[in-house]
Chain A
Amino acid sequence: MANLAGTAPASALPAAWSSQPLLTIEGLTVDFSGVQVIRGIDLTVARGESIGIVGESGSGKSVTWLAALGLLPRTATVSGSIRLDGEELRGAAAMRLDRIRGGRVAMIFQDPSSALNPVIRIGRQVGEVLARHQGLSGSSIRAEAKRLFELVGLPDAGRRFDAYPHELSGGQNQRVMIATALAGKPDVLVADEPTTALDATIQAQILDLLTTVRRETGMALVLISHDLGVVSETCERIMVMYGGLVVETAPSESIFASPRHPYTQGLLAALPPFEGALRRLIPIEGQVPEPATMPPGCPFAPRCPQRMAVCEVTIPPLAQTEAGRFSACIAGPATEAQQPLKLKTSVLA
């Protein structure tokens, strides 16, 4: 016990980096008929961690996770490594993947009504997962489904077992999806835009629920969203994607206070503020590049106000700017944080 207390402060600081990661993605690339859409993603998810993946449409945030779970169509070529507790998932047998998906790794999507089968009662849909992954049967399925429905705050949980998806609202269907995901007792829940189709007050309920469930079950949460506000309030660590690459990753509190990458800076400047004085929005000029016409250097270079000649020919690597923070920019750190960087290197030397 004394030993435990001694290690606690050390592990509290760089928890995500020091402990054995639960899920590791290394050098992930995805090609669709010769066009590369994911161009080398490295990331780790620690036990119980909440990580937010943000980026505009076409940045590759969803494809990364569909590829990781082997959910892409056969026309996609996936390379790299995806390991869950050391076990390689890429190229794993279909039977094995079926055990993992819905079991140790669960995924929920934006539109719950299209993810649920409209002609099957919701209790049976949750029950299917319970039977397959927990080996339950008969009345124990009903009892466990009721417990899950209560956990996700579905009103009148006991009677909902026999309801059809159309009898529930969008927010309630999303709760059913979360219950179905939790039925496999997952270590990781990947939620892809889980609240985008929902109203504001319902979005608040669902985000609150995801955080509560994560705290209670100790599962890790990967929240994919285009909304910086949503990930900011729900996740501890943020990863910003652009053009099939990770451009910045940092703890939630520091990335919004002092974004390092020009794209992250641009996203925040384009966001209408909700507090303080009104100001003219600063849009990012141009548009997200198409995968087929991706610029040879940094994908953000054509829209970047800090662009230099070298940015147009070299893809900048994701480099550490300070403890726990990484940014893939040649110009950004040099102009933004020149002083502190120099200081640090001299201290290290």
Chain B
Amino acid sequence: MTASILDLHGISRSYSTRQGLFGKKVPVHAVDEVSLSLKEGQTLALVGESGSGKSTTGRIALGLERPNSGYVLFRGTELPAADTPAWRRMRAQMQMIYQDPLAALDRRLSIIDQVREPLDIHDIGSASKRNNKALAMLDAVGLNASHATSLPYQLSGGQRQRAVLARALIMQPALLVCDEPVSALDVSIQAQVVNVLMDLQKELRLSLLFISHDLKVVRQVSQRMAVMYLGRIVEFGETHLLLSSPTHPYTKALVSAVPVAGRRTRERIILKGEPPNPAARPTGCAFHPRCAIARPECVRVSPTFSTLPDGRSVACHAVHTNPPTKEVGS
């Protein structure tokens, strides 16, 4: 049993927003009672549509946002308050990369300067050692000396994302939060970045919190995944189980919506309606207005988690009363 590096315990985060220009303030529950754990050296994928709270969860995991309730443990100790020296020391071990590498890079600094910058800030090693270390890191992500002296605009999207990765990894973090890291990249380039990320994970024993809406990439990189809907986790367990036999109606719809090249005729679950607004969260199970098997109790009562024999947790009334033992063979 591997120890967990990151634990989220019942975290909730709400923002207040105005309804209309002069309307009264209403709370928006971006994240609601989310508990997760990420094991050392593994990848946990957070999956969901826009507004599901997956990015907010990632930011809370790093201490960039404070939860209103609940707490975050990094290697068993609670995260110190943001912007304190203790937090900054801990943050060196936790890094984040985002979807748009051009926005994450300084357009007027060379790649090597940006990759070396964390070492400069934390004053690690002599100047020449820092430079060598930065070059070695760039080499590890597949960029050479000529890329090192380039400015961001001179690189392609995939190269930029690898530069961002090099900068995030130069402090040798233990945890990397990736928020849609390959979504903006073309397929052939996406494969390059996914491979580099997985190789480095193995080499450096990195733990990854991988936020993505692309289930094909999630299947490729993660051991476990959590599906979020309107701020709550609806299903959590081993990735291959969730994708091969999804249990929650929302996970089922998500899996069936994945467009697969070379597959044309099949039953696709077309959900009714739109993902609802987090500011107007439906009562009971938030998914009930779009759910094909919703029952009266789903409108009133929010479902609790039940654990399936394969270790999965599912929050659905239908699953609770009806354990899918017959589906095991499929």
Contacting pair A232 B188 (CB below 8 A): no
Is the C-beta of B241 less than 8 angstroms from some C-beta in chain A? no
Contacting pair B259 A232 (CB below 8 A): yes
Is the C-beta of A15 less than 8 angstroms from some C-beta in chain B? no
Contacting pair B260 A275 (CB below 8 A): yes
Is the C-beta of B270 less than 8 angstroms from some C-beta in chain A? yes
Shortest CB-to-CB span from B264 to chain A, Å, is 6
Contacting pair B257 A200 (CB below 8 A): yes
Contacting pair A287 B261 (CB below 8 A): no
**Taking A274-B219, A283-B191 as contacts, is the C-beta distance between A200 and B50 under 8 angstroms?**
no
Residues in B with CB closer than 8 Å to A280 are 195
A230 to B262, CA, bound (A): 10
Contact of B257 among A204, A228, A232 (CB under 8 A): A204
A274 to B257, CA, bound (A): 12
**Taking A172-B274, A274-B215, A281-B220 as contacts, is the C-beta distance between A203 and B261 under 8 angstroms?**
no
Chain B residue nearest to A195 (CB atoms) is B259
Chain A residue nearest to B268 (CB atoms) is A204
Mark contacts of A214-234 with chain B using CB atoms, 8 A cut-off: 1 yes-contact digit, 0 otherwise: 000000000000111110110
Residues in A with CB closer than 8 Å to B213 are 199-200
Contacting pair A287 B257 (CB below 8 A): no
Residues in A with CB closer than 8 Å to B268 are 204, 208
Is the C-beta of B131 less than 8 angstroms from some C-beta in chain A? no
Is the C-beta of A137 less than 8 angstroms from some C-beta in chain B? no
Is the C-beta of B295 less than 8 angstroms from some C-beta in chain A? no
Is the C-beta of A310 less than 8 angstroms from some C-beta in chain B? no
Is the C-beta of A253 less than 8 angstroms from some C-beta in chain B? yes
Chain-B contact segment, one of A143-151, A265-273, A319-327, A338-346: A265-273
A256 to B190, CA, bound (A): 19
Contacting pair A287 B254 (CB below 8 A): no
Is the C-beta of B329 less than 8 angstroms from some C-beta in chain A? no
Is the C-beta of B180 less than 8 angstroms from some C-beta in chain A? no
Chain A residue nearest to B262 (CB atoms) is A256
Is the C-beta of A201 less than 8 angstroms from some C-beta in chain B? yes
Is the C-beta of A12 less than 8 angstroms from some C-beta in chain B? no
- Residues 202-259 of A contacting B (Cβ, < 8 Å): 202-205, 207-208, 226-230, 232-233, 252-253, 256-257
- Please give the number of chain B residues whose Cβ is less than 8 angstroms from any Cβ of chain A in the complex: 39
Mark contacts of B227-256 with chain A using CB atoms, 8 A cut-off: 1 yes-contact digit, 0 otherwise: 000000000000000010000000001101
Residues in B with CB closer than 8 Å to A42 are none
Chain B residue nearest to A269 (CB atoms) is B191
Is the C-beta of B216 less than 8 angstroms from some C-beta in chain A? yes
- Residues 182-197 of B contacting A (Cβ, < 8 Å): 186-192, 194-195
A285 to B142, CA, bound (A): 11
Contacting pair B275 A267 (CB below 8 A): no
Residues in A with CB closer than 8 Å to B159 are 287
**Taking A202-B275, A204-B268, A283-B188 as contacts, is the C-beta distance between A271 and B261 under 8 angstroms?**
yes
Contacting pair B263 A272 (CB below 8 A): no
Residues in B with CB closer than 8 Å to A283 are 188-189, 191-192, 195
Residues in B with CB closer than 8 Å to A200 are 49, 213, 215, 254, 257-258
Is the C-beta of B17 less than 8 angstroms from some C-beta in chain A? no
Residues in B with CB closer than 8 Å to A257 are 262
Residues in B with CB closer than 8 Å to A232 are 259-264
A283 to B268, CA, bound (A): 29
Residues in A with CB closer than 8 Å to B254 are 200-201
Mark contacts of B35-67 with chain A using CB atoms, 8 A cut-off: 1 yes-contact digit, 0 otherwise: 000000000000001100000000000000000
Is the C-beta of B217 less than 8 angstroms from some C-beta in chain A? yes
Is the C-beta of B273 less than 8 angstroms from some C-beta in chain A? yes
A275 to B262, CA, bound (A): 12
Is the C-beta of A294 less than 8 angstroms from some C-beta in chain B? no
Residue of A226, A230, A284 most packed against chain B (CB within 10 A):
A284
Chain B residue nearest to A252 (CB atoms) is B264
Is the C-beta of B90 less than 8 angstroms from some C-beta in chain A? no
Residues in A with CB closer than 8 Å to B274 are 169, 171-172, 202
Is the C-beta of A89 less than 8 angstroms from some C-beta in chain B? no
Q: Supply 18 A–B pairs (Cβ within 8 Å), ascending by A.
A: A169-B275, A204-B268, A204-B269, A208-B270, A227-B259, A228-B261, A229-B216, A229-B259, A229-B260, A233-B260, A253-B262, A270-B187, A270-B188, A270-B190, A271-B187, A271-B191, A282-B191, A284-B191
